[in-house]
């Protein structure tokens, strides 16, 4: 890894919000006196009832408790819309770019207000009340943002299920959250192909025990079934209600949304984010990390089904009165120049995407970038997985033309917002490093025994020492799981699950997960989830899933499968299992490689030794380590001999 410091491009530095001296001063204040610092920052929002208490947090196991601005009251949708109306009513809030390059739309803050109020009134008419859960299963269309903000307006808690998840995965989340209402569209559209969202909802609800109503947005006009008295057309209902809806006063610690995410064990957990601290943090990080200034056209290419879409397409930018671009399609449709054509078309100034997209577009060739006029761009961002220095340099030179700083932002669904990142006018960068902590964030590196590494240069697991306002508060319905997952292993710290190195300049380099979570194209996947999908198939007796290095996706999914007695491996069965996993979870969980394993390496107590499976999947046989504790060491030689290849 390279250690060279990249200076801040001087044109950028001249106009940036904050320089290095400013960063260092603010950072010191933020950790020396968090009460005062975050008390001031809380004022970036409009409060219906001002807070008097700023921070009340403890990471002490087992009495973990996190509260910010706990006696304040506010409404997130009022902060993202109403308070901008006087000054920005006619400014574009959302630019929508459809999957089809000829379809786009601009929505002003005034229009956003009306759409959100109407939908909020529809929710009320359908019986949704403060605290109720609403599931959104939406493509990337403006109605997805309206649906989120309308929940926030009436105090309902949204839980977005990524449109790429299967009906089965959707059913689990509808049941898990006991949602009253589902918001969806007839179909989604991605890369010219339609996605049967409403039909998936119908399949999902067939597996759900309680009654769930649906609001359906007409998007493609595709043929779908509507249930009498339970399914309602968005365009009909929104016309029947008033265009005004008073925002509900919410306590700062009332939940804003639940987002299911994968962990190292068991099924996905519902990460709960609350109202006040989350919005302060989303707004502040969006402003400082993206150097947000009036006139910016800001584009984050994530999907609202992931946390990046929540914090950096919708809540952060809209809280700041920004113009945010929502893109329905994929980077390679109709051609690999699509991202760059969209940048030119809408004069995008700030662009935020994932390394997997950068690598794929890099592979497609420079000519696709060179054909577009990218002179409007001034800042580039990366998120979701470590960015390899080659991709970083290509992004810098070919896309940014050497003129745009790159912010490599490290964070997680759990953290609500960015924790480690360059501040573009302040931080000299290094390709592949997320660099330094954001305000209020105190990273700590521990060895596996839990000893804090005090030297500047260190390597180990990454923990965070004290709370920040955007932090998740609990796992929905299972506070104990929250406490044990994040605070039990390393007492007194928030455990991130990531490995990390700190270099001589104090810069942080995220090295990837240290647990059984893998990161496929920037999507988080628990190996346990894929395993449980595989063993649910009648011909599978056992499965072990690990990640392996993949050129484009970052990590691919490698599955070792042991079949039931009497079942024979075949190409047909391999395909059947891939289809099966897609149905159980969704296409993002499709195994890339399946190896038939007559036996798995287990300890005498029956525990699968994943370390060995990981090494075989990585083609790294010299580092297998001690295999003498295995119940049957000979399985290893067999697995190596039959390693699956792409």
Interface residues toward ligand WTA, by CB under 6 A: 261, 306-308, 383-386, 408-413, 434, 496-498, 510, 513, 519, 524
| Residue nearer to ligand WTA on the CB measure, 412 or 453 | 412
Strand segments (E) across 82-239: 92-97, 104-108, 133-137, 157-160, 181-185, 188-190, 193-195, 213-217, 231-233
513 is in an annotated binding site: yes
| Residue nearer to ligand WTA on the CB measure, 253 or 385 | 385
Q: Which helix (H) or strand (E) holds 406?
A: strand 406-409
392 is in an annotated binding site: no
Which residue blocks in 255-366 are alpha helix, DSSP H? 276-289, 307-309, 316-319, 338-346, 355-364
537 is in an annotated binding site: yes
| Residue nearer to ligand WTA on the CB measure, 75 or 324 | 324
Q: How far is the CB of 526 from ligand WTA (least distance, A)?
A: 11
Q: How far is the CB of 313 from ligand WTA (least distance, A)?
A: 12
Q: How far is the CB of 454 from ligand WTA (least distance, A)?
A: 24
| Residue nearer to ligand WTA on the CB measure, 55 or 269 | 269
Q: How far is the CB of 409 from ligand WTA (least distance, A)?
A: 5
Token pair, residue 560, equals 């070792």
- Do residues 400 and 474 make contact, with C-beta atoms less than 8 angstroms apart? no
433 is in an annotated binding site: no
Cβ neighbours, 10 Å, residue 227: 11
| Residue nearer to ligand WTA on the CB measure, 306 or 339 | 306
* Closest among 304, 43, 303 to 159, alpha carbons compared: 304
- Do residues 312 and 286 make contact, with C-beta atoms less than 8 angstroms apart? yes
Radius of gyration over every alpha carbon of the chain, rounded to an integer in angstroms: 24
413 is in an annotated binding site: yes
Helices (H) and strands (E) in the chain, counts: 22, 30
Question: What does the CA dihedral 120, 121, 127, 128 come to, rounded to 10 degrees?
Answer: 10
192 is in an annotated binding site: yes
Q: Which helix (H) or strand (E) holds 222?
A: none
191 is in an annotated binding site: yes
- Do residues 94 and 77 make contact, with C-beta atoms less than 8 angstroms apart? no
- Do residues 283 and 45 make contact, with C-beta atoms less than 8 angstroms apart? yes
- Do residues 558 and 644 make contact, with C-beta atoms less than 8 angstroms apart? yes
412 is in an annotated binding site: yes
Q: How far is the CB of 495 from ligand WTA (least distance, A)?
A: 11
The residue at minimum Cβ distance from ligand WTA is 413
Q: How far is the CB of 421 from ligand WTA (least distance, A)?
A: 8
> Strand pairing partners for 502?
458, 508
| Residue nearer to ligand WTA on the CB measure, 306 or 580 | 306
| Residue nearer to ligand WTA on the CB measure, 67 or 524 | 524
* Closest among 168, 384, 389, 154 to 248, alpha carbons compared: 154
Beta strand 494-502 pairing with 458-464:
antiparallel
| Residue nearer to ligand WTA on the CB measure, 119 or 259 | 259
User: Percent helix, strand and coil across the chain, each rounded to 5?
Assistant: 35, 25, 40
DSSP category for residue 424: T
411 is in an annotated binding site: yes
Rounded to whole angstroms, the Cα distance separating 424 from 439 reads 14
DSSP category for residue 604: T
| Residue nearer to ligand WTA on the CB measure, 274 or 308 | 308
190 is in an annotated binding site: yes
193 is in an annotated binding site: yes
535 is in an annotated binding site: yes
Cβ neighbours, 10 Å, residue 579: 11
Q: How far is the CB of 206 from ligand WTA (least distance, A)?
A: 29
| Residue nearer to ligand WTA on the CB measure, 323 or 382 | 382
Contacts of 399 (CB under 8 A, 6+ apart): 340, 351, 358, 369, 374, 377, 380
524 is in an annotated binding site: yes
Rounded to whole angstroms, the Cα distance separating 159 from 166 reads 15
Residue 318 buriedness (CB in 10 A; 0-12 / 13-18 / 19+): buried
Phi/psi for 56 (5° steps) reads: -145, 85
- Do residues 153 and 102 make contact, with C-beta atoms less than 8 angstroms apart? no
Contacts of 109 (CB under 8 A, 6+ apart): 81, 84, 85, 88, 89, 90, 91, 93, 321
| Residue nearer to ligand WTA on the CB measure, 51 or 352 | 352
| Residue nearer to ligand WTA on the CB measure, 344 or 505 | 505
CA angle 541, 543, 548 (to 5 degrees): 160
Q: How far is the CB of 2 from ligand WTA (least distance, A)?
A: 16
| Residue nearer to ligand WTA on the CB measure, 323 or 413 | 413
Beta strand 554-563 pairing with 593-596:
parallel
308 is in an annotated binding site: yes
Rounded to whole angstroms, the Cα distance separating 349 from 292 reads 10
| Residue nearer to ligand WTA on the CB measure, 497 or 601 | 497
Q: How far is the CB of 447 from ligand WTA (least distance, A)?
A: 19
Binding residues: 190-193, 308, 384-386, 408-413, 498, 513, 521, 524, 535, 537, 540, 582
Binding residues for ATP: 384-386, 408-413, 498, 513, 524
Binding residues for Mg(2+): 535, 537, 540
Binding residues for CoA: 190-193, 308, 521, 582
């Amino acid at each position: 890894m390279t250690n060279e410091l990249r200076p801040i491009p001087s044109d950028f530095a001249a106009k940036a919000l904050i320089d290095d001296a400013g960063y260092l001063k603010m950072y010191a204040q933020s950790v020396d006196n968090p009460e005062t610092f975050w008390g001031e920052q809380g004022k970036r929002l409009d409060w219906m009832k001002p807070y008097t208490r700023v921070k009340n947090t403890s990471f002490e196991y087992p009495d973990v408790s996190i509260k910010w601005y706990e006696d304040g009251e506010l409404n997130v949708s009022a902060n993202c819309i109403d308070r901008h109306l006087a000054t920005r009513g006619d400014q574009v809030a959302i630019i929508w770019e459809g999957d089809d390059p000829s379809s786009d739309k601009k929505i002003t803050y005034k229009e956003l207000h009306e759409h959100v109020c109407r939908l909020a009134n529809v929710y009320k008419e359908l019986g949704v009340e403060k605290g109720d859960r609403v599931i959104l299963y939406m493509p990337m269309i403006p109605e997805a943002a309206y649906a989120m903000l309308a929940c926030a307006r009436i105090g309902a808690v949204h839980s977005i299920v990524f449109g790429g998840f299967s009906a089965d995965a959707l059913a689990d989340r509808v049941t898990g959250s006991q949602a009253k209402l589902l918001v969806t569209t007839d179909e989604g559209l991605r890369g010219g192909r339609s996605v049967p969202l409403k039909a998936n909802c119908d399949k999902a609800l067939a597996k759900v025990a309680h009654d769930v109503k649906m609001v359906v947005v007409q998007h493609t006009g595709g043929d779908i079934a509507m249930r009498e008295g339970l399914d309602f057309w968005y365009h009909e209902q929104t016309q029947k209600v008033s265009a005004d809806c008073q925002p509900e006063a919410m306590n700062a610690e009332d939940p804003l949304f639940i987002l299911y995410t994968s962990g190292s064990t068991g099924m996905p957990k519902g990460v709960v984010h609350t109202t006040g601290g989350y919005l302060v943090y989303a707004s502040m990080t969006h402003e400082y990390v993206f150097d947000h200034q009036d006139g910016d056209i800001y584009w984050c290419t994530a999907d609202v089904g992931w946390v990046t879409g929540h914090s950096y397409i919708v809540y952060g930018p809209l809280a700041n009165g920004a113009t945010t671009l929502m893109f329905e399609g994929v980077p390679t449709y109709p051609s690999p120049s699509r991202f760059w054509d969209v940048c030119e078309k809408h004069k995008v100034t700030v662009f935020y995407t994932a390394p997997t997209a950068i690598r794929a577009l890099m592979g497609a060739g420079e000519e696709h970038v060179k054909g577009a006029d990218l002179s409007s761009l001034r800042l580039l961002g990366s998120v979701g997985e470590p960015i390899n220095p080659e991709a970083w340099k290509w992004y810098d030179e070919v896309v940014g033309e050497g003129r745009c700083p790159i912010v490599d932002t490290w964070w997680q669904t759990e953290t609500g917002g960015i924790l480690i990142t360059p501040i573009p006018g302040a931080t000299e960068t290094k390709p592949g490093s997320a660099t330094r902590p954001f305000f209020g964030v105190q990273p700590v590196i521990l060895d596996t025994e839990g000893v804090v590494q005090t030297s500047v240069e260190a390597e180990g697991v990454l923990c965070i020492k004290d709370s920040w306002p955007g932090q998740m508060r609990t796992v929905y319905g299972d506070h104990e799981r929250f406490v044990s997952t994040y605070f039990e292993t390393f007492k007194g710290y928030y455990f991130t699950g990531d490995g990390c190195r700190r270099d001589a300049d104090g810069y942080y380099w995220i090295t990837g997960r240290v647990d059984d979570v893998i990161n496929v194209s920037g999507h988080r996947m628990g190996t346990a989830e894929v395993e449980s999908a595989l063993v649910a198939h009648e011909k599978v007796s056992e499965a072990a899933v690990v990640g392996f290095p993949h050129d484009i996706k970052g990590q691919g999914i490698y599955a070792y499968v042991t079949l039931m007695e009497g079942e024979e491996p075949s190409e047909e069965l391999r395909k059947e299992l891939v289809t099966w996993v897609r149905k159980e979870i969704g296409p993002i969980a499709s195994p890339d490689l399946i190896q038939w394993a007559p036996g798995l390496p287990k300890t005498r107590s029956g525990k699968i030794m994943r370390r060995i499976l990981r090494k075989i999947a990585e083609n790294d046989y010299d580092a297998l380590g001690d295999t003498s504790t295995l119940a049957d060491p000979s399985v290893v030689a067999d697995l190596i001999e039959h390693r699956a290849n792409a």
